[in-house]
Amino acid sequence: MAPRPLGPLALALGGAAAVLGSVLFILWKTYFGGGRERRWDRGEAWWGAEPARLPEWDEWDPEDEEDEEPALEELEQREVLVLGLDGSGKSTFLRVLSGKPPLEGHVPTWGFNSVRLSCKDFEVDLLEIGGSQNLRFYWKEFVNEVDVLVFVVDSADRLRLPWARQELHKLLDKDPDLPVVVVANKQDLSEAVSVVELQQELGLQAVDSQRELFLLGASIAPAGPAEEPGTVHIWKLLLELLS
């Protein structure tokens, strides 16, 4: 059968998608790209609302990182992309890292969301792109622009694990050298699959062994008290990978 020409609706939708993708990309570049004309005081989130700090349950003392801190102008920039299906916990991760309490309920990110954290030798920009289906299309446009990918999975969302797997592997294929940290989030929930099971479900055993790929269990915003939320381990691993 001969291919049918695209109808006006398909063309309009395609055009709208391209424009949205370009806008996301330009906005990101404006904040983090090339000239980096925007500067914030050390320790501030980019909106300047609150100083960035790690949560209180962290046994690690951030002051250790702050000895002999170089002048702000000398700090290099590192970029971390935070992706994962909608509701997996990406925004929560960024909030917790910047010392803010998790929001009640799921407030979807319609576009992108970012936070800038400082450490001893560099500043880290963490960029979340929303995980709803219409935004996933744009994820691949950003993977080649960053130093590390964090892929957050809702371990209790069993039905959608195959989708998470599919999206993750698309990203792995897009940049074979990019270090990747997969976060098995929501381990506090009784229905969550274990980290070992998740390794199978996401097909991580089949990934090239040369690749820097990590799988960490976490409960970034546990529903009840949790001894080991795991956010600090993720942050420490990121610092190692970015150093």
Ligand X SMILES: Nc1nc2c(ncn2[C@@H]2O[C@H](COP(=O)(O)OP(=O)(O)OP(=O)(O)O)[C@@H](O)[C@H]2O)c(=O)[nH]1
Q: Annotation-wise, does 98 bind a ligand?
A: no
DSSP string, 14-31: HHHHHHHHHHHHHHHHHH
Please state, in angstroms and rounded to a whole number, the distance separating the CA atoms of residues 97 and 80. Answer: 13
Q: Which is nearer to ligand X, 108 or 162 (CB)?
A: 108
- Provide the minimum distance between the beta carbon of 103 and Mg ion in the complex, in angstroms, as a whole number: 9
Q: What is the pairing mode between strands 122-129 and 112-118? A: antiparallel
Choose, by CB under 5 A, the member of 24, 45, 79, 91 that binds Mg ion: 91
Choose, by CB under 5 A, the member of 98, 109, 187, 219 that binds Mg ion: 109
Q: Which is nearer to ligand X, 6 or 103 (CB)?
A: 103
3-class secondary structure for 50-109?
A: CECCCCCCCCCCHHHHHCCCCCHHHCEEEEEEEECCCCCCHHHHHHHHCCCCCCCCCCCC
How many Cβ atoms from other residues are within 10 Å of residue 23's Cβ? 12
- Provide the minimum distance between the beta carbon of 153 and Mg ion in the complex, in angstroms, as a whole number: 14
**185 counts as binding Mg ion under rule CB under 5 A:** no
Q: What is the pairing mode between strands 76-83 and 112-118? A: unpaired
**98 counts as binding Mg ion under rule CB under 5 A:** no
- Provide the minimum distance between the beta carbon of 226 and ligand X in the complex, in angstroms, as a whole number: 8
Q: Which is nearer to ligand X, 166 or 243 (CB)?
A: 166
Q: Annotation-wise, does 243 bind a ligand?
A: no
| CB neighbour burial string for 48-71, b if at least 16 within 10 angstroms, e if fewer | eeeebebeeeeeeebeeeeeeeee
Q: Annotation-wise, does 27 bind a ligand?
A: no
Q: Catalog residues that contact ligand X under the rule CB under 6 A.
A: 84, 86-92, 102, 105-109, 130-132, 152, 185-186, 188-189, 219-223
**88 counts as binding Mg ion under rule CB under 5 A:** no
Please state, in angstroms and rounded to a whole number, the distance separating the CA atoms of residues 101 and 76. Answer: 28
223 binds, among Mg ion, ligand X, none (CB under 5 to 8 A by kind): ligand X
Q: Annotation-wise, does 117 bind a ligand?
A: no
> Which residues are documented as binding site for GTP?
84-91, 131, 185-188
Tell me which residues touch Mg ion (CB under 5 A): 90-91, 109
